[in-house]
Amino acid sequence: MSIPSCFKIKIFADGADLENILALAKNPLISGYTTNPTLMRKAGIKDYVEFAKKVLEHITTEPVSFEVFADEFGEMERQAREIASWGENVYVKVPITNTKAESSFELIRQLSAEGIKLNVTAIMTIPQIEGLVEVLDPGTPAVVSVFAGRIADTGRDPIPVMSRSIEILKSKRLAEVLWASPREVLNIFQADEVGCHIITVTPDLIKKLDSAGKSLEDFSLETVKMFFGDALSAGYSIPLRGR
């Protein structure tokens, strides 16, 4: 894979397929793992705890994030404590709000103060970052997942949000900014350039890393050959007129 050796950013694999996770565990580019209930549902996971513990049987040192899925803060807290107990390398994903748009700040403050490593997720605004920096404990590691890809989906440039987020969180030396929901390989270069600590990458996007740095002339020729080969394989033809 043609990833520049000068890259500082860490690449975390994002997914919920155990086979893929185990395969990626052999890839030196991957230094952590994340998942969420949506990915787990799409992967057909039936037992949340069973899946998580299977992952942790194999991934014992690299950080792995598992998300709470309650909506009431009391139950969210209970789930967070249980998830944190699964391993020293576990980060508990807590959404920035619940579904009622009620802030999770007080829960985050409490858990972080107790030394529970958090991955605060679904962040998209600077006010959310400004509130978060006030509640993260400076002595507890944390991941701050800013959904740059979803920001871009709205037609907004995510770079200013990511840059400002990094600046605000400088006072929390153990807090790492994560570029979430990337859409293309270019996003990895952008995230590294702006100073993000981590980017999550899906298996499909990891495969595309083979194209990083490729000659555009070569890539153009490969594309022409692909179109030509697929047309031949499909048996397409355009008959001459009158025949």
- Quick check: is 93 catalytic? yes
Q: Can you read off the two tokens belonging to residue 172? A: 């929390």
Sequence-distant (6+) residues with CB within 8 A of 192 are 7, 8, 9, 199
**What HEC string does 172-226 produce?**
CCCEEEEECCCCCHHHHHHHHHHCCCEEEECHHHHHHHHHCCCCHHHHHHHHHHH
**Rounded CA separation 168/17 (Å):** 35
Over its C-alpha atoms, the chain yields an Rg (Å, rounded) of 21
Residue 208 CA: distances (Å) to CA of 32, 119, 154? 19, 26, 24
**Rounded CA separation 110/230 (Å):** 57
**Rounded CA separation 141/115 (Å):** 8
Sequence-distant (6+) residues with CB within 8 A of 201 are 11, 12, 13, 14, 182, 188, 209
Active-site residue (options: 93, 208, 214, 225): 93
Q: Give the phi and the psi of residue 28 in degrees, each rounded to 5.
A: -65, -15
Write out the catalytic residue numbers: 93
